Structure 1
């Protein structure tokens, strides 16, 4: 990473919305990646307005009910899929299919499993086998750390102006541990 990229990351302002240890993992990974200005907002604060931030990382395991209006900032949704982690990036101008979903985590895993099956993607078998666990509401520290790592890498790429996959595409990785 160049010194200019490190400066861009350090100067980037990130807001994390959510409540759980998962957000703590995301925050830790963002700090490790070089972000200095991270604002944490509790998940039950549904009247959150976007302040002076460059992007939002929102835990979307439960309902996504935060008020964002038409904020022109990227939103990263990290997911714990028990056997792996994932993230969906919604860029300004994208349809935000996740906004207002009662169970965004379940919607996302079913969407991604269907996408992988339709396109016959390799390396997604673990996602199909994780579906019953996710439907039961199980979580995994390893998957949360994996998703947090994915989230931080995406945020760093956005901060330095690199191209990132965004909805309807997604990031998906089997647990790193």
Structure 2
């Protein structure tokens, strides 16, 4: 039997902490716990997940407490599971108890169902957020995210003869933001 490597994730570092997950994974036998802070809706920017997947060797176990700690999307969850199994390692989810080693079709079925549940939760969460924003706009409360770019500064740099790319580099913003500021 190989190593047991743990993976923990919280959505934000605003009041959330992975220590509870890490402690539980260590209690369950993880020798090392990798952790990310980030949205489960995307695999982008999850460096520690990528690191643990690269480190897996035949016979190792990747353990996480819940499927939504890995991903909140069916395709992403199955993609991660297939990468683990492709390395001849095992994916172990603690709650609900699932162990995917590539030989048990029911484990893949369960992951698919749980991935679908995560996708549905994500969809309804976004729908509730949209309704809340619309209601706040109707009351005149919601104004969107505050501007972080000063259009006057962008125009001043353009008046000095700078192009959009140079302005973007100077202000450390995207070129599209330069164009929006100039159009404002």
Task: Give the TM-score normalised by the residue count of structure 2.
Answer: 0.36
Higher fraction of strand: 1
- Which has the higher relative contact order, 1 or 2, with Cα contacts under 8 A spaced 6 or more apart? 1
Radius of gyration: which is bigger? Answer: 2
